[in-house]
Amino acid sequence: MARRDVAIVATAQRPNQVGSTLTSVELILPVINEVIEKLGIERQKIGFWCHGSCDYMSGQPFSFVAAVDAIGAWPPIIESHVEGDGALALYEAWVKIQTGECDVALVFSNGKTTSGPIDRILNLQADPYMVTPLWPGFDSLSALQARACLDSNVLTEADMAEVAARSYRDALNNPIAYAKENVTAEQLLARPYVTAPLRAHDCGVPVDGANAVVLAAGDAARGLAERPAWIRGIDHRIDTQRLGARSMTESFSTAVAAHKAGVGDDRIDVAELHAPYTHQEILLRRAMNLGEGTHINPSGGALVSNPAMAAGLARFAEAAESVFSGSADRVLAHCTSGPMLQQNLVCVMEGE
Amino acid sequence: MSAATTPSTPGADGIFVAPLVVEYPYKRTVGTLLSRFFLSLQEGRLEGTRGSDGRVFFPPAEFDPVTGRALDEWVTLPETGTVTTWAWQSVPQPNQPLEHPFAWALITIDGTEVPMLHAVDAGDIGRIRTGSRVKVRWAAERSGGVRDIACFDLLEEAS
C-alpha cells in the first residue's frame, strides 16, 4: 500500500510557566480552541484525537480521561491516549491516517511538570529491580552520561555551555519560552555544579505547558494550510533499558531513526531537537550528522522550557511553524523519552 | 494515598493548591532468575550469568542478548570493580543509598564487561575519578535486592 502524504497544518502552544494552578483541562482547552480556530473547521471534521500525557505526574490513574472534557465527547469522537510525550501520540495519529480511517487528526499534550518532584517521579520509569530502588533520578543518570562523553573527549564543558548560552539567547525571541538570558558560555562556566559535571544551565528547566497540532492527509492538508509541513519520514527507535549496556557516548537509536526517516538525503534547514541536557544535544547532532548549515533549536529548545510529555510535541510545532512561515524548507523534529536518550523519534518535514 | 495531612494553601492567583502524596506499596514477583540473584545478594555473594560468547553479565542476564538462549551458567564474582563513569550527588534526595554527598557510578565488577549503577561513598568529590577501584559494602541487614549492596567503598590506590 502506498503511503499517504500527511502534513502538519496548524499548531498552538501555551506560554510555558512554573507553578500553574490550572487543572489539566484548563491547560489544554485554550490550545485546542486556538488550533481549531486557526483552521476554521468544524470539530466533526476531526476524525481522530490523540493525547500524550503521564498519569504519574498528575498523581492519579486514568487522569487522561478527564482531558476528554477539553475536547468534547459529544457527538461521539474517536480518541486515544499515549502514556508518553505528545510526539508519540503524533506518531499514532500519523499511523491512524495511514490506515485510511481518517483524513484529519488533532494531537495534543500537556505536562504539569512543576506539580511534584519530576526528577523523582520519572525515576519510576527505570528498571524496577536494579535501578528504581536506588532513586537516582534523571539528572544524575544524565550526569553519568555527560561524564563519559567528557572522559572520551566527545565534548567539553565549554561545548556544553555554548549549547546553553545559544539556547538562552535564542529564547529571548520566543514569547512562550520560560528561561531566557543574554549570557555567554564563559559566564555560565563560572557558575557552580549542581550534579557534577552538570551545572544548572545543562539541565532543562521543568515547566508546565500544553500544545496541540493538527495533521491532515493529501488534499485535505492543502485545503487547510497555505504551506503544509509534509511529513517525509518518521521513525522511532529504542536503546536497551539496561543502562550499563548502552553506549554513553553515542545514540544508536537516534542514528537508526534518522537514517530511516531520511535525514541525510538532503540538507536540513532547521532541527528542533528534544535535548533536556546540553550534552545530549551534542550527541543528537553527532548521531544525525547535523552540521553548520542547520539551525539547531531556534525556539531555545527543551533546555529553556521542558514541559515533560509536551516538550517533544513542542519540537514538532516549532519545526512546522518554520515551514509555514517559509523561513525553512526542510526541517527535522525529534523527541526523546526515558533516561539518557533511551527512546528517540525522528521526523523530517518539508514545504512544497 | 494521603490527601488531607496538611492544609490546602492558596496560590498567588487565589486558587487553592491541595497536597497529594501518592504511594503505591506493591509487591511484585521477580521471576526465577532475579530470585536466585537476590538470594545470592542476601547471602553476601555477587553472581552473574555467562553468555554464549563467554561474557559474564552482572546483574545477570536471563537471555543471551545475541542468541536469545536462556542463560543458566552462574559465575561467582569478586566484590571489586572499576568505575567507568561517575556523577556527584551534592544534595542527597530521600531514599537514595547515602544521606551525605556521594558519587553515582557505573561500576564494572571484575570479570564482567557490562557495568551496573550504584553509589560510591567517596566522601569528597576530589577522591573519585573514572578508573577508581571500588569494593562492595554490604548492608547490615539484607532482604534480597539491589539495596543489599549498601554502596561501594573506594579501594586505597597504590601511588
Task: For chain B, say whether A128 makes contact (Cβ under 8 Å).
Answer: yes
Q: How far is B26 from chain A (nearest CA, A)?
A: 11
Q: How many domains does chain B have?
A: 1
Is A97 domain-assigned?
A: yes
pLDDT at position B121 over 90: yes
Residue A92 resides in a domain: yes
Mind giving me the DSSP string for chain B?
-BSSSS--EE-TTS-EE---B---------HHHHHHHHHHHHTT-EEEEE-TTS-EESSPPSB-TTT-PBP--EEEE-SEEEEEEEEEESSPPTTSS-SS-EEEEEEEETT-SS-EEEEE--SSGGG--TT-EEEEEE-SS--SSGGGEEEEEEPPPP-
Residue A307 per-residue DSSP state: -
Is residue B9 domain-resident? no
Distance from CA of A192 to the nearest CA of B (A): 11
**Residue of A19, A134, A196 lying closest to B125 (CB–CB):** A196
Backbone conformation region of residue A19, classed left if phi is above 0, alpha if psi is from -120 to 50, else beta: left
Domain count, chain A: 1
Render pLDDT for A22-55 as a digit per residue (tens, 0 to 9). Answer: 988 999 999 999 999 999 999 999 999 999 999 8
Domain annotation covers residue B20: no
Tell me, yes or no, whether A26 lies in a domain.
yes
pTM, rounded to two decimals:
0.95
Q: Which of A18, A54, A115, A130 to probe the B interface (max B CBs under 10 A)? A: A130
The answer as to whether B26 is a domain residue is no
CATH number where A21 lies: 3.40.47.10
The answer to the question of residue B119 being in a domain is yes
Separation of alpha carbons A110 and B55, rounded Å: 44
Q: Which three cell numbers stand for residue A11?
A: 499548531
pLDDT over 90 (residue A63): no
Q: Does A344 fall in a domain?
A: no
Interchain contact, A195 vs B65, CB within 8 Å:
no
B139 at interface of A, judged by CB pairs closer than 8 A = no
- Residue closest to B65 by CA, chosen among A345, A126, A239, A258: A239
A183 lies in some domain = no
Is B125 part of any domain? Answer: yes
The shortest CB-CB distance from A196 to any of B11, B30, B88 is to B88
Angle ∠(B96,B99,B105) on CA atoms, nearest 5: 55
Q: Give the ipTM.
A: 0.93
| Cβ–Cβ < 8 Å for B125, B101 | yes
Residue with C-alpha cell 566522601?
Answer: B123
Helix (H) / strand (E) element for A217: namely strand A208-217
Any domain includes B23: no
Q: Does the pLDDT value for residue B1 go beyond 50? A: no
Provide the residue range defining the domain that includes B136: 31-154
Segment A189-224, tens digit of pLDDT: 999 999 999 999 999 999 999 999 999 999 999 999
Print the domain residue range for A31: 6-115+206-229
Closest CA to B85 of B34, B120, B37: B120
Specify whether the CB–CB gap between B51 and B61 falls below 8 A: yes
